Amino acid sequence: MVIIMNEEENPIINEEVLGEESELKQLIVDYVGSQLDPESDEVTAGMIVEVFAKEFPELLLLIAEENFIRGYHQAFADIEAHENAETDETDEPTD
Extents of the domains making up the chain? 16-55, 57-89
User: What's the pLDDT score for residue 12?
Assistant: 86
User: What's the pLDDT score for residue 80?
Assistant: 92
CA distance linking residue 52 with residue 74, whole number of Å: 27
Helices 45-55, 57-91: inter-axial angle, 10-degree rounding: 110
Number of other CB atoms surrounding residue 48 within 10 Å:
19
Of 41, 38, 47, the C-alpha closest to 13 is 47
User: What's the pLDDT score for residue 94?
Assistant: 57
User: pLDDT by residue for the chain (95 residues), tens digit each?
Assistant: 445 556 567 888 889 999 889 999 999 999 999 999 999 999 999 999 999 999 999 999 999 999 999 999 999 999 999 998 888 777 666 55
CA distance linking residue 72 with residue 78, whole number of Å: 10
User: What's the pLDDT score for residue 8?
Assistant: 63
User: What's the pLDDT score for residue 5?
Assistant: 56
User: What's the pLDDT score for residue 55?
Assistant: 96
